[in-house]
């Protein structure tokens, strides 16, 4: 999608006149709502995004989450909120900068400005109570911030949010977000009844009076905007041809688990993966499933393996630090060939890292985290829609190949909201009952097909199937092997399955021309931003294409041949790599992006990379700069 270009370019008037508001008609618009943590900007943004999507706009939302649970009030790092990019066409990423910003205090606003999150001519609606606050320091901070912001081309409109909210509630801190939602509803002409419904739904677990009060505040904001603002924004709606569903990535994973006929989700709470189990916990029992919160990450993996061994369809969900703890059990599942799906909602690392921020830095840990040789399938959805559908695929592949399948999503997908076509559920996605026929004499628990490594799965209690399950290296009878030959054969058989799976994969498609100067390779949630950057680069005459991988182990076939059609290949990833030109960094010692390592190893192509770890999704503008820097002859 191209950057927004207002039909009405003149600045919105300073005050409303009889001619009514100026309508800014644009193909897309990006709004940010920022507040202190706990003031509800996120809820406001979520409802605005959902309603926009339900009305038929393309939408993509990104949560702005502080790193701390209770950061200091009125501080830049404490800014909490939501960015919502809406468009006439589908929206695939959060874009570059916000066209409209609503700030509950000037410090949060200033922080967003410093992060270059605002478009150069953004309209800013900011709470004005700080200008006249009793505290001298606060008034001084306001003045300083306004001096900085006033030097920009922003149009800053002070809004008496608290003063207005006090006419309805005693605690405006708990109501400002709904007032702002009402303002946005008027500015963007949102369906007010849909908003009322969303508020009721949001507060469904509280007393009815709570929802009523919030609706009243929202309507107050709507009326205030109508009476006082002199501009509106119209992002035309083109109703999609098929019914759409609006979910965030974690909700999509949870619904995918239901659609895939999963029986058990074993987990331990960890940001940003926890909400998968929250959502599942509300609905899973209705479908015969169970969410089990284990005592820790290790136990959660163990429970899932145990259930799967017993014939159930089980998965575990976690994030980076949890994945590290599950390492030993994932090795056990690999060795015992117990089907297991592991959902890893990636965040910044290592260690506790960036719990609430996005990163794509678990790829190599997923691939090689286990000691010994532990081959497994690794997949990564590129969109929220794929989060749903990939769980179905992962479950099936895990069972067909008796292996571990890891699905890597990330915090960007987890909390982002995007509409996508309502899935047409297919009974064939559901897990078939496990084969419990009596085991014929002579069939072994690991009766490996010598060519493929595939074997029939035994379930405990199956007549004739009794055997010892062991994590020790074992032979076809599951007997502990003491000869070098046994371990060699077991490793070969487990590895062979991946090779077999690889031979069944289709080569990936190329976005753009199938040959050119630069091929950008990505994986996971960056797809939309990469393709938007590629579009812009191509519009500038650059011969750039992109390729987005979904299956990372085994790698999709034909990559070397595809790469050979481009003068240069480079990955774009949200993980760390050294930059040439930095002190001590040479071509010899430079550490690369994780996918770049992998592609080099597999294709022997000199794959370059452009990676960043800002703790937020990549912006098309940034990727475009990366593309320009990586055009043949340059290095990131």
* Residue ranges binding another protein (CB under 8 A): 38, 42-43, 46-47, 50, 65, 69-70, 197-198, 201-202, 204, 245-248, 250-251, 260, 269, 271, 274-275, 278-279, 282, 285-286, 288, 356, 379, 381, 386, 389-393, 396-397, 400, 423, 426-430, 432-438, 452, 454, 500, 503-506, 508, 550-551, 556
Whether 302 and 268 have beta carbons less than 8 Å apart is answered as no
Q: Residue 563 CA to chain centroid, in angstroms?
A: 27
CB of 42 to another protein, least distance (A): 7
- Helix, strand or coil for residue 574? coil
| Closer CB to another protein, 301 or 345, in the complex | 345
**Least Cβ distance, residue 396 to another protein (angstroms):** 5
Distance separating alpha carbons of residues 83 and 178, to the nearest angstrom = 16
Q: Which residues of 554-572 are buried (b: 16+ CB within 10 A; e: fewer)?
A: bbbbebeebbeebebbbbb
CA-CA-CA-CA torsion sign (519, 525, 527, 533): negative
Instruction: Write the secondary structure of 94-149 as one string of H (helix), E (strand) and C (coil).
Output: CCCCEEEEEECCHHHHHHHHHCCCEEEEEEEEEECHHHHCCCHHHHHHHHHHHHHH
3-state secondary structure of 337: coil
Please identify, using beta-carbon distances, which residue of 63 and 216 lies nearer to another protein.
Answer: 63
Distance in Å, CB of 483 to another protein, minimum:
29
Cα–Cα distance between 363 and 598 in angstroms, integer?
A: 9
Q: Are 611 and 630 in contact (CB under 8 A)?
A: no
Which lies closer to another protein via its Cβ, residue 133 or residue 312? Answer: 312
Going by the DSSP 8-state scheme, the letter that residue 580 receives in this structure is B
CB of 513 to another protein, least distance (A): 21
Distance, in Å, from the CA atom of 230 to the CA atom of 240, rounded to the nearest integer, reads: 31
Measured CA to CA, the distance from residue 485 to residue 80 in angstroms comes to 58
Q: How far is the CB of 200 from another protein (least distance, A)?
A: 9
Residue ranges of alpha helices (H) inside 327-408 are 327-336, 363-368, 384-400
Between 492 and 631, CB nearer to another protein: 492
Question: What is the separation, in whole angstroms, between the first and last Cα of the chain?
Answer: 25
CB of 261 to another protein, least distance (A): 9
Nearer to another protein among residue 311 and residue 516 (C-beta): 311
CB-nearer residue toward another protein: 330 or 454:
454
CB of 542 to another protein, least distance (A): 28
Q: For residue 282, what are the CA distances in angstroms to 295, 566, 614? A: 20, 49, 34
CB 634 to another protein: min, Å: 33
299 or 417: whose CB is closer to another protein?
A: 417
Least spacing, CB of residue 255 vs another protein, in Å: 9
Cβ 594 vs Cβ 378: under 8 Å? no
Q: Based on CB atoms, which residue is closest to another protein, 123 or 390?
A: 390
Nearer to another protein, 113 or 396 (CB): 396
Residue 356 to residue 433: CA distance in whole angstroms:
38
Q: Which is nearer to another protein, 62 or 122 (CB)?
A: 62
- Least separation in angstroms between residue 389's CB and another protein is 4
């Amino acid at each position: 999608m191209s950057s927004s270009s207002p039909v009405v370019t003149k600045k919105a008037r300073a005050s409303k006149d009889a001619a009514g508001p100026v309508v800014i008609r644009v193909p897309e618009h990006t709004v940010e709502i920022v507040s202190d943590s706990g003031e509800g900007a996120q809820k406001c943004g979520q409802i605005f995004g959902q309603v926009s999507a339900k009305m038929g706009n393309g939408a993509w939302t990104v949560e702005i989450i502080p790193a701390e649970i209770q950061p200091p009030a009125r501080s830049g790092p404490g800014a909490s909120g939501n960015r919502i990019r809406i468009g006439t066409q589908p929206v695939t990423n959060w874009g570059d900068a916000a066209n409209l910003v609503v700030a509950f205090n000037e410090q949060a606003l200033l922080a967003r400005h410093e992060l270059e999150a605002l478009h150069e001519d953004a309209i800013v609606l900011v709470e004005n109570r700080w200008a006249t606050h009793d505290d001298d320091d606060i008034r001084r901070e306001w003045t300083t911030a306004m001096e900085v912001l006033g030097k920009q081309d922003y149009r800053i409109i002070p809004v008496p949010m608290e003063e207005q909210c006090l006419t309805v509630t005693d605690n405006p801190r708990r109501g400002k977000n709904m007032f702002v939602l009402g303002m946005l509803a008027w500015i963007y002409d949102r369906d007010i009844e849909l908003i009322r419904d969303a508020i009721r739904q949001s507060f469904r677990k509280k007393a009815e009076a709570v929802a009523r009060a919030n609706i009243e505040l929202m309507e107050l904001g709507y009326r205030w905007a109508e009476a006082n603002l002199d501009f509106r924004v119209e992002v035309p709606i083109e109703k999609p041809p098929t019914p759409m569903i609006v979910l965030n990535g974690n909700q999509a994973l949870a619904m995918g688990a239901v659609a895939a006929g999963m029986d058990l989700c074993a987990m331990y709470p960890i940001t940003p993966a926890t909400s998968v189990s929250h959502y599942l916990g509300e609905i899973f029992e209705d479908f015969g499933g169970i969410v089990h919160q284990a005592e820790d990450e290790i136990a959660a993996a163990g429970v899932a393996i145990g259930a799967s061994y017993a014939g159930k369809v089980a998965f575990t969900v976690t994030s980076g630090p949890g994945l590290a703890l599950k390492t030993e059990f994932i090795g056990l599942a690999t060795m015992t060939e117990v089907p297991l799906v592991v959902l890893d909602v990636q965040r910044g690392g290592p260690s506790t890292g960036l719990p609430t921020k996005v990163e794509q830095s678990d790829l190599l840990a997923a691939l090689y985290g286990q000691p010994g040789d532990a081959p497994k399938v690794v997949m990564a959805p590129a969109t929220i829609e794929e989060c749903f559908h990939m769980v179905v695929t992962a479950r099936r592949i895990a069972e067909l190949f008796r292996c571990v399948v890891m699905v890597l999503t990330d915090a960007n997908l987890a909390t982002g909201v995007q509409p996508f076509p309502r899935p047409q559920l297919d009974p064939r996605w559901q897990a078939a009952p496990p084969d419990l026929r009596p085991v014929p004499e002579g069939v072994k628990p690991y009766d490996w097909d010598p060519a493929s490594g595939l074997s029939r799965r035994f379930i405990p209690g199956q007549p004739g199937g009794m055997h010892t399950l062991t994590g020790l290296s074992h032979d076809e009878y599951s007997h502990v092997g003491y000869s070098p030959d046994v371990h060699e054969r077991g490793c070969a058989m487990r590895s062979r399955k991946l090779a077999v799976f690889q031979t069944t994969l289709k080569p990936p498609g190329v976005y753009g021309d199938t040959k050119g100067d630069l091929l950008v390779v990505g994986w996971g949630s960056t797809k939309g931003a990469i393709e938007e950057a590629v579009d812009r680069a191509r519009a500038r005459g650059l011969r750039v294409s992109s390729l987005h991988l979904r299956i990372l182990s085994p790698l999709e076939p034909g990559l070397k041949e595809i790469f050979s059609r481009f003068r240069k290949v480079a990955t774009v990833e949200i993980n760390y790599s050294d930059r040439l030109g930095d002190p001590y960094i040479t071509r010899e010692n430079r550490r690369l992006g994780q996918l770049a390592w992998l592609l080099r190893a597999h294709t022997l192509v000199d794959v370059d990379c452009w990676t960043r770890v800002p703790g937020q999704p990549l912006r098309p503008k940034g990727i475009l700069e990366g593309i320009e820097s990586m055009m043949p002859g340059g290095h990131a």
